[in-house]
Amino acid sequence: MKITEVMAPEHETVVRVEEPSVGLTGFVAVHSTALGPAAGGLRMRPYADEAAALEDALRLSRGMSYKNAAADLPLGGGKSVILGDPARKSPEMLAAFGRAIDSLGGRYWTAEDMGMSPEDMAVVAGETAYVAGLPHGEYASGDPSPITARGIFSAIRITARHRFGSDDLTGRTVSLQGLGHVGVHLARMLHEAGARLVVADTDAARVTAAREAFGAEAVAPEAILAVEADILAPCAIGAILNEKTIPELRVAAVAGGANNQLATAADGARLHARGILYAPDFVANAGGIINVATEILRISDRAGYVDQKLAAVETTLDRILTRAAEADLSPNDIAEATVGERLVRPAA
Ligand code: NAD
């Protein structure tokens, strides 16, 4: 197997991994280990070319540094990618990639991401100890979605307090995009808190279930972003807040769990200019990585650790929204600056 270093000025270590005998080409990007070992998932996609795969690994690993720091976890940011159609992966390919991860000696921990299954991660784990999100094992953390949803629910309440002066969600309307692993838990919590739900999902069965369970009103997937509501909670896909959609929004705030909701950095400012309060996604959805962290850090009292870290994230979000209001700036810009400060390695 050929493992070669790739130059990337903003990253600590990036390697290209190649093993032609098993059809493997991929990258491991370690953005920062200032706060601890880099953690972030392994993704397999039919990228257009190597440059696109590398770009994804660099961007996502940086995002993980910020997300882990926002959650005040002793973890850095990393991400790995394999080029190719996930239908074409083989145990030999995954095992080879596992050996490449192992060669970094624990500076990078991987987990499941797009194109990977728990079974695939078990194959990777056969070659390296630096794998989290496993279904079995002493510290196995299981499905992170309920914890992610808990964090988003708190983020919605905090955002409501800043935007409306009260975190009471009784009678508030929340438009919810996506009723998957995270969205369905969030819908239940919002319903129990007395919120009125307007939902959309491309999977009609999930919409029917939410109508029955939570009395939710359903709209077509292409209509959800223009629904009049108090708060929009995006819990499906990324880049939904962009030049085209932001002018169409009819909400006072956005707080949800989807990763990378802003298409570009300028979209945070666009929301701010429209007076729409945005809870930065990498703060609001930190519950998932907190749950995974209990496995990496081998935490015995998982529930206690999760409670403590989720409470810390609440404080962080509250401060970000306060500072954003004081400075009349986008909370996303404030969040990046606040969390970025934590990433500066303390002087030895
Ligand atoms: P999921 O795949 O279980 O659910 C996504 C849902 O969105 C599905 O029901 C899908 O049908 C629906 N959907 C897809 N495109 C849609 C569209 N255009 N309009 C409406 N609905 C659409 O995923 P998940 O685990 O619930 O994660 C949701 C989002 O939250 C993702 O962006 C994910 O990266 C992010 N996230 C998840 C976790 C976690 O713990 N699962 C943690 C952090 C962030």
Ligand 1 atom nearest residue 281's Cα: 44
Ligand 1 atom nearest residue 184's Cα: 26
From the candidates 79, 89, 244, 309, give the one annotated as an active-site residue: 79
Ligand 1 atom nearest residue 145's Cα: 40
Residue among 113, 177, 181, 207 to mutate when testing ligand 1 (max atoms within 8 A of CB): 181
Handedness of CA 42, 291, 293, 160 (dihedral sign): positive
Alpha-carbon span 345 to 348, nearest angstrom: 8
Contact 28, 61 (CB under 8 A): no
In the chain, which segments carry CATH 3.40.50.10860?
Answer: 2-67+75-125
Residue among 202, 242, 262, 292 to mutate when testing ligand 1 (max atoms within 8 A of CB): 202
Q: In the chain, which stretches have pLDDT less than 70?
A: 345-348
Instruction: Give distance in angstroms: CA of 2 to centre of ligand 1.
Output: 35
- Return the pLDDT at 137: 87
- Return the pLDDT at 346: 56
List ligand 1's pocket residues with C-beta within 6 A.
Answer: 144-145, 148, 177-183, 200-203, 206, 221, 235-238, 257-259, 285, 288
Q: How many residues does the chain have?
A: 348
> What CATH number has the domain spanning 2-67+75-125?
3.40.50.10860
Closest C-alpha residue for ligand 1 atom 34: 259
> In this structure, what token pair is assigned to residue 243?
């030049």
Contact 267, 333 (CB under 8 A): no
Estimate the crossing angle of helix 181-192 against helix 145-164, to 10 degrees.
Answer: 50
> What would the pLDDT profile of 14-26 be if each residue is shown by its tens digit?
999 999 999 999 9
The ipTM, to two decimals, is: 0.99
Task: Respond yes or no: is residue 309 known to be catalytic.
Answer: no
247 Cβ neighbours under 8 A, 6+ residues apart: 274
- Return the pLDDT at 136: 86
Q: 3.40.50.720, 3.30.70.930, 3.90.79.10, 3.40.50.1820: which CATH number matches 145-342?
A: 3.40.50.720
> What would the pLDDT profile of 283-339 be if each residue is shown by its tens digit?
999 999 999 999 999 999 999 999 999 999 999 999 999 999 999 999 999 999 999
- Return the pLDDT at 347: 46
Residue among 186, 197, 237, 306 to mutate when testing ligand 1 (max atoms within 8 A of CB): 237
Closest C-alpha residue for ligand 1 atom 2: 180
If we measure between CA atoms, which residue out of 291, 300, 288, 287 comes closest to residue 139?
300
In the chain, which segments carry CATH 3.40.50.720?
Answer: 145-342
Ligand 1 atom nearest residue 144's Cα: 40
